[in-house]
Structure 1
Amino acid sequence: MASGRTISDNASAILSSPPADIIFKLPIGIELPQGPPEGSLLSSSFHILMDIRVPVTVATLYATCVHILNRSRGQGAEPARFARTALFRWLVIAHNLFLCVYSAWTCLGMIFSLLRTVTEMSRTHSSGTSSFWRGLCSLDEGIWGHGLNYYGFLFYLSKFYEILDTVIILAKGKRSSLLQTYHHGGAMISMWAGIRFASPPIWIFVVFNSLIHTLMYFYYVSCGLNIKVPRAVKCALTTAQICQFVFGSSLAIAHIFVYYFDPSIGQYTSCLVNAGQTFALWFNVLYLAPLTYLFIGFWIASYVTKPQPPQVRGTSTVSEEGMLARN
């Protein structure tokens, strides 16, 4: 095993076989990782919100309520009275603007934290790929304690707030699609797993998803302000969502094979060090597989086989409003 090698040159990371003792082991008895810095937003509630019953209960209630409402209202339901008012329109714009700004803040914060961590690693130890991977993987010195435990935790909480996307769709008299419901329900549990077990690959989903969300919610703000958005842009955004799933999952899986040199012990160590980290990785990848399939089906139906409906300035089609940016 690569983890048993010692080497004087610590300038590079290596690829080797996965750590067989944890690759498919259930995450039992693993302590909570370091939470957000004391005094930060909701840091005192970290232990409570990391209870598995929180995301499972909310996701189950969410999916159940959506299913009941979809069946009871049928096709072509009338919008709620409040949804026809100017106040509702401006509340929706404010909601989308908030998520756009928050997503941009998260994406930039994570990128700067990652660059700062890797730079510090390179200064204190030799530069190279080993410093990069140590910055990503080490729980003691890496990105987890320098930003991911904070931005990632808030990103996990944002998945609960994003339920309002579905509330908006239902208020407008539309149905919540399987893609919509599956995504929001699964995202809560997937992000919980990544943060609960401090799985290094979760940085990928925080960075990539927050970037896509910035673009998507900016699109919705534009639509709400009656700004015409070309159909090619909508297609590009949906394509970007699919690419994020495929590329992100592939990069996440690569973490299993990475070993970086740890000068504190004088040998190579695996990027993933316990069963909780590998469990979170597999859970996220398995969750994204059917989500990718649903998005590809939506892309084909919307941009290949579906005839283009007439567009009204500043609006999108029902299917696009339900699934394009609600990711």
Structure 2
Amino acid sequence: QEFSYARAQQWMLNHEAFSMQIVFQYLMTIFMLKQLMKDRPPFQLIGPIKVWNLTIALLSGVCTAGMTGEFLTTFFTKGVNPSLCSTGDTFFHGRNGWFLWCYHIIRLFEFTDTLFIILRKQPLLFIHWYHHALTLFVSWFCYARPSPYTRYAIYINAIIHTVMYTYYFLRASKVRMHTIIAKVITAAQIAQFGIAFWSIIHATVLKFILAESCELDTGVLCLSWFMDICYLYLFVDFYRSKYIEKSK
């Protein structure tokens, strides 16, 4: 049966308050759980973590494979401007629409990362929980509105998540890996936000300066600007403090 974006879009619109409730409950839960774990010994949870990371790596990989055809076809046959300004009949619909929908739903489950961090009493960084909370809300909001330029951020993010969770799985499995891998993954995330930022700037110029026909929702654009500036700053600062300052 053909995937119906209209139904998925309407469901997202009808449950926008639900997405905000999830984010609020997530924040409440992690800080309450952190207090509960304060005087308790950490859990190991090696088995569940391995299963979890492998599951997300496989799901992200499947979604990446499912979205590759549409991304490459749009980019190479239609060009950069149409890829930023038009969803056409392929981005939200058909095969790509199904995998795009699935990738957004996976966001709901990625909060589990934070639970593992707290239960194992590892440092809970601001960049971690802020990134999870804001991404769910913004991606939910954007999915229900015209946002063709997000195809770049979504597709590249799916690739990075596939690599990143595979790395987490191997690390949890005690596979020895060079320390440079973590550094490269963080650099790839920064590059992802850089490309996303370029797509936002380019789409903004096309619509508001060159006055070209562009399927852009102003609310989505404003949220995208805010989110990407935040992420660029946070991830560059994280990279600087973890990999540059520590090496001095």
TM-score in same-fold range (> 0.5): yes
Structure 2 letter corresponding to 1:107: T
1:110 to 53, 64, 67: 67
CA distance in 2, matches of 1:215, 1:302: 20
Q: Which residue of 1 aligns with 2:156?
A: 208
Question: After superposition, what is the alpha-carbon deviation per residue over 1:197-255, rounded to whole angstroms, capped at 9, x for unaligned?
Answer: 03111211210111111111111111122111111111111111111112211123212
TM-score normalized by the length of structure 1: 0.66
The answer to whether the 8 Å contact 1:59/1:188 transfers is yes
The answer to whether the 8 Å contact 2:152/2:195 transfers is no
The answer to whether the 8 Å contact 1:209/1:244 transfers is yes
1:93 Cα deviation after fit: 0.9
The answer to whether the 8 Å contact 1:249/1:285 transfers is yes
Structure 1 letter corresponding to 2:22: V
Q: Secondary structure in 1 aligned to 2:215?
A: coil
Q: Which residue of 2 aligns with 1:239?
A: 187
Q: Which residue of 2 aligns with 1:297?
A: 237
1:139 Cα deviation after fit: 4.0
1:90 Cα deviation after fit: 2.1
CA distance in 2, matches of 1:144, 1:196: 10
Structure 2 letter corresponding to 1:284: S
CA distance in 2, matches of 1:219, 1:140: 35
Structure 2 letter corresponding to 1:52: E
Query: Does 2:33 correspond to 1:93?
Result: no
Note the aligned Cα RMSD (angstroms): 2.8
Stretches of structure 2 lacking an aligned partner (at least 5 in a row): none
2:10 to 47, 56, 70: 47
The answer to whether the 8 Å contact 2:10/2:144 transfers is no
The answer to whether the 8 Å contact 1:137/1:143 transfers is no
1:115 Cα deviation after fit: 3.3
CA distance in 1, matches of 2:190, 2:23: 23
TM-score normalized by the length of structure 2: 0.85
2:109 to 161, 172, 193: 161
CA distance in 1, matches of 2:85, 2:93: 11
Structure 2 letter corresponding to 1:270: S
The verdict on how the C-alpha distance between 1:133 and 1:176 changes in structure 2, with shifts beyond 3 A counting, is same
The verdict on how the C-alpha distance between 1:301 and 1:117 changes in structure 2, with shifts beyond 3 A counting, is closer
Identical counterparts, % of pairs = 20
1:270 to 200, 205, 213: 213
The verdict on how the C-alpha distance between 1:269 and 1:295 changes in structure 2, with shifts beyond 3 A counting, is closer
CA distance in 1, matches of 2:240, 2:85: 37
The verdict on how the C-alpha distance between 1:165 and 1:62 changes in structure 2, with shifts beyond 3 A counting, is same
Where in structure 2 are the equivalents of 1:118-137 lying within 5 Å?
129=79, 133-134=81-82, 137=85
1:52 Cα deviation after fit: 1.2
Q: Which residue of 2 aligns with 1:322?
A: none
The verdict on how the C-alpha distance between 1:108 and 1:212 changes in structure 2, with shifts beyond 3 A counting, is same
Stretches of structure 1 lacking an aligned partner (at least 5 in a row): 1-35, 123-127, 260-267, 309-327
Larger Rg: 1
CA distance in 2, matches of 1:135, 1:251: 10
The structure with the greater share of residues assigned to helix is 2
The verdict on how the C-alpha distance between 1:145 and 1:67 changes in structure 2, with shifts beyond 3 A counting, is same
CA distance in 2, matches of 1:255, 1:170: 39
The verdict on how the C-alpha distance between 1:148 and 1:279 changes in structure 2, with shifts beyond 3 A counting, is farther
The verdict on how the C-alpha distance between 1:179 and 1:77 changes in structure 2, with shifts beyond 3 A counting, is farther
